[in-house]
Amino acid sequence: MKTNRENLPLDQILLEDSLQLLSNLPDECVDLIVSSPPYNLGKEYESRQALEIYLAEQTAVLLECSRILKNTGSLFWQVGAFSDRGMLIPLG
């Protein structure tokens, strides 16, 4: 069930699954999105995934971000590089 514009939380930081949260927001309802998604490096707070899976998940989140972002809005997406056997692949 999608949230309507009248019930959107304002001036809050929400700690939830990003894709689930985004999918419940109405189109073009956000002025600013700032994100620093997991870098997929296998650190203790994240599990490392195959690059194809990681990119597919990030693409799904970015598509939802694009859908909820107002035409006049801004998106800041901080990403790193994917490392594989000594090779760095830029993700941005």
**Each residue's pLDDT tens digit, 12-71:** 787 888 899 999 999 999 999 998 887 777 778 888 888 899 889 999 999 999 999 999
Tokens representing 80 are: 């790193």
Q: What pLDDT is stored for residue 63 in this prediction?
A: 97
What pLDDT is recorded for position 82?
Answer: 75
- Name the helix (H) or strand (E) containing 36: none
Alpha carbon distance 90, 81 (integer Å): 4
pLDDT of residue 1: 59
Output the pLDDT for position 2. Answer: 67
DSSP 85: T
Residue 61: which of 7, 29, 19 has the closest Cα? 19
pTM listed for this prediction: 0.78
Angle, vertex CA 63, rays to CA 53 and CA 19, nearest 5: 65
